[in-house]
Amino acid sequence: MTEIVLINPNTSAATTQMMTSIVRASLPASLTLLPKTARHGVPMIVNSRELKDSAAGVVELAIECSATAQGFLVAAFGDPGVKELRAIVNVPVLGLCEAGMQAAAAGGRRFAIATVTPDLVDDFAAKAAELGLSDRYLGTRLTSGDPRGLASDPHVLQQALEQAVRQCFELDRADAVIIGGGPLGQAAEALTARFARPVIAPLRAAAERMAALAAGRGA
């Protein structure tokens, strides 16, 4: 069986468990999933410094699993360590931001992001530029309040993100909206069913992309 390693760059084991459940549901039975949680860092990455600092831990965990891993899924929306991993392994490496943006932009769609982390907005714009999607990226709509506080209350989090998604569709005229964050995974899954237009849950998008790569259906 093919082993996919899910690496949570956040230090929260509970978040790893939640994200693993979502990814597992989108993978075929032929792919096993090995979850790993960062040993150092913060429970939830909310700014560029924390994002950058988490990359080394991602690479460290990946190297430990490299003998058996046949794919790595970096489960944070800023894709920390993805570039570094791709330079040293010969198996697929996917990040949530890249997978989410590629899914959102499919068919030429214009997309926006709804999230809780204002201090990562510039990183999202940089990722869109890196992927050649700046012309389709309409920007990011933010919830109000402390990101970590919101994430600790699933009901309030979902309500806040739903409002941000609605703004992306109604004010920005987005064709698709990405929920920007691995720890927002449960809210993202719930919101996919609440709008007529596509709401992209990046954990699911990354899992589906990994499944396609493992089956030889993508580059």
- ∠ CA 75-45-187 to the nearest 5 degrees? 60
Q: Please write the tens of the pLDDT for every residue from 91-148.
A: 999 999 999 999 999 999 999 999 999 999 999 999 999 999 999 999 999 999 899 9
What are the backbone dihedrals phi and psi of residue 64, each rounded to the nearest 5 degrees, phi first? Answer: -65, -30
Whether this model's pTM surpasses 0.85: yes
Which of 163, 169, 168, 209 is closest to 187 using CA atoms? 163
pLDDT of residue 214: 87
Which domains can be identified in the chain, with CATH numbers? Answer: 2-95+204-214 (3.40.50.12500), 98-201 (3.40.50.12500)
CA quadruple 166, 170, 176, 180: dihedral positive or negative? negative
